[in-house]
Chains A and B, each alone.
Chain A
Amino acid sequence: GAVVSQHPSRVICKSGTSVKIECRSLDFQATTMFWYRQFPKQSLMLMATSNEGSKATYEQGVEKDKFLINHASLTLSTLTVTSAHPEDSSFYICSARDRLEYGYTFGSGTRLTVV
């Protein structure tokens, strides 16, 4: 089945630094990838939709200058958390779909801790 690889799985960074998270579709091409965020004991909330070759679409309340998304190829999307603050500490997870009828495949997630 479709596999989405996400790295790193866990990262701790200092406040003010930037962190890049990668999401790759291993055996299919994904023109669209989705980035979600999950706070403790909460469900997944969509942050942005990553479109290959064009600008990402951000959900209301998500700062596009803070969460930079690049979808440079059909198999790779990256999320960069810039000037990270402790309140950005969360679980970030990407998702993509091979075909409409196949359902969504998720990466393994990235636990970001900003200290």
Chain B
Amino acid sequence: KQEVTQIPAALSVPEGENLVLNCSFTDSAIYNLQWFRQDPGKGLTSLLLIQSSQREQTSGRLNASLDKSSGRSTLYIAASQPGDSATYLCAVPFYGGSQGNLIFGKGTKLSVKP
């Protein structure tokens, strides 16, 4: 059974810091891994999608890496800003039961202080 874990559960940093969010998954047979951002009371915004054949993806100040063999992914945020404050979720597709629903971690709640 695929399980996704995110560490830390919460993180508070001063503006301008670089930071790393961690995601681990138990079954390395994944098709891809997706990072999302969720603002309070809102839906999910897709940040980065890494295919299983890729090792990293970059979008602006965000960089996500994937190491399938060790079951890990990291999301690196450079020069953090208060607007980055949100909950960050990682998820992998599950093809065992349903037709590819996502299995989510519990998220890392990020707070960037001005």
Q: Which residues of A contact B (CB under 8 A)?
A: 6, 32, 34, 42-46, 49, 51, 57, 59, 91, 93, 95, 97, 100-109, 111
Minimum distance in angstroms from A94 CB to a CB of chain B: 9
Minimum distance in angstroms from A56 CB to a CB of chain B: 10
Q: Are A103 and B46 in contact (CB under 8 A)?
A: yes
Q: Which residues of B contact A (CB under 8 A)?
A: 31-32, 34, 36, 41-46, 49, 51, 89, 91, 97-102, 104-107
Docked pose: A105 CA to B47 CA in angstroms:
11
Given the known interface contacts A32-B99, A43-B105, A43-B107, the answer about A106 and B51 at a Cβ–Cβ threshold of 8 Å is no
Docked pose: A45 CA to B51 CA in angstroms:
23
7 additional A-B residue pairs with CB within 8 Å, beyond A43-B107, A104-B34: A6-B43, A46-B101, A49-B99, A95-B44, A102-B49, A107-B43, A108-B42
Within 8 Å CB of B41, what residues of A?
A: 91, 109, 111
Q: List 8 A-B contacts (CB under 8 A).
A: A44-B104, A45-B104, A49-B99, A104-B46, A104-B91, A108-B42, A109-B42, A109-B43
**B43's contact among A43, A46, A106, by CB below 8 Å, is which?**
A106
Within 8 Å CB of A6, what residues of B?
A: 43
Given the known interface contacts A43-B104, A108-B43, A109-B42, the answer about A103 and B49 at a Cβ–Cβ threshold of 8 Å is yes
Docked pose: A106 CA to B51 CA in angstroms:
19
